[in-house]
Amino acid sequence: MSSHQLPAPRSAPARPGQAVRVSGLVKEFATGTRALDGVDLEISAGETVVLLGANGSGKSTLLKCLTRLVEPTEGTLHLLGRDVRAAGRAELSGLRREVGVVFQHINLVDQLSVLTNVVHGALGREHSPRTWFAMTARAELREEAMEALGRVGLAHVAGRRAEQLSGGQRQRVAVARMLMQRPRMVLADEPVAALDPRAGRAVMDLLWEIAEERRLTLVCTLHQLPLARDYARRVVALRAGRVELDADIAVLADTELDGLYAAEREDEGLAGDLGTRTAAHRATGAHREAVDA
Ligand SMILES: Nc1ncnc2c1ncn2[C@@H]1O[C@H](COP(=O)(O)OP(=O)(O)OP(=O)(O)O)[C@@H](O)[C@H]1O
Q: What is the model's pLDDT at position 103?
A: 87
Query: pLDDT tens-digit profile of 42-92?
Result: 999 999 999 999 999 999 999 999 999 999 999 999 999 999 999 999 999
Same domain? For 195 and 143 the reply is: no
Same domain? For 128 and 215 the reply is: no
- Whose CA is closest to atom 26 on ligand 1? 55
Does this model's pTM top 0.90?
no
List % helix, strand, coil for the chain (3-state, nearest 5). 40, 20, 35
Q: Are 161 and 111 in contact (CB under 8 A)?
A: yes
Ligand 1 centroid to Cα of residue 57, in Å, is: 7
Query: pLDDT tens-digit profile of 90-132?
Result: 999 999 999 999 988 878 999 999 999 999 898 877 655 556 6
CATH number at 264 reads: 3.40.50.300
Q: Answer yes or no: is 71 within a domain.
A: yes
Last residue of a domain, one of 182, 208, 223: 182
Same domain? For 138 and 84 the reply is: no
**Structural domain tally of the chain?**
2
Same domain? For 194 and 59 the reply is: yes
Query: Is the predicted pLDDT of residue 240 greater than 90, yes or no?
Result: yes
Same domain? For 213 and 174 the reply is: no
Same domain? For 126 and 35 the reply is: no
Q: Is the CB of 35 within 6 Å of ligand 1? A: yes
Q: Are 66 and 187 in contact (CB under 8 A)?
A: yes
Same domain? For 189 and 175 the reply is: no
Ligand 1 centroid to Cα of residue 241, in Å, is: 10
Q: What element of type H or E holds 211?
A: helix 197-214
> What are the start-end ranges of the E strands in the chain?
18-28, 34-44, 48-52, 74-79, 82-83, 99-103, 185-189, 217-221, 234-239, 242-248
Task: Using most ligand atoms within 8 A of CB, pick from 25, 50, 59, 225 the residue to mutate for ligand 1.
Answer: 59
Instruction: Report the phi/psi class of residue 240: left, alpha or beta, with left for phi > 0 and alpha for psi in -120 to 50.
Output: left
Ligand 1 centroid to Cα of residue 209, in Å, is: 29
Q: Is the CB of 27 within 6 Å of ligand 1? A: no
Same domain? For 68 and 172 the reply is: no
What ipTM is given for this predicted complex? 0.98
Question: Which residue segment(s) compose the domain that 128 sits in?
Answer: 109-182
